[in-house]
Amino acid sequence: EPEVTQTPSHQVTQMGQEVILRCVPISNHLYFYWYRQILGQKVEFLVSFYNNEISEKSEIFDDQFSVERPDGSNFTLKIRSTKLEDSAMYFCASSRQGGGEQYFGPGTRLTVT
């Protein structure tokens, strides 16, 4: 069964550093998403991406965040200058259609020290 994969599983970085989180969505899916989950809290939407551009973004997704589909398989989330409060699990998800079921990857745990 096809799955969303994410790398790395755990990333530790110092405050102010740039990080790139990587995702490989399910191959025939066209819509891609990033969500985050701060420890003990609910999953929060960050951004959706379709046809090589951002479809929508939340208030969390400020100028420090960017997304990219650099090739036909990867989907990345970049945080330009990390803050302590960026520490969270970051989940990538994909769906075949815009209103379709979203399938989540296993997540990347980001720890900012």
Footprint of another protein (CB under 8 A): 4, 6, 31, 33, 35, 41-45, 48, 55-56, 58, 91, 95, 98-99, 101-107
CB of 85 to another protein, least distance (A): 19
C-beta closer to another protein: residue 1 or 14: 1
CB of 15 to another protein, least distance (A): 25
Hunting for tokens 């699990």 — which residue is that?
A: 89
Per the document, the length of the chain is 113
C-beta closer to another protein: residue 18 or 101: 101
Residues contacting 82, CB < 8 A, separation 6+: 13, 14, 15, 16, 17, 18, 19, 110, 112
DSSP string, 1-37: ----EEE-SEEEE-TT--EEEEEE--TT--EEEEEEE
CB of 91 to another protein, least distance (A): 5
C-beta closer to another protein: residue 14 or 51: 51
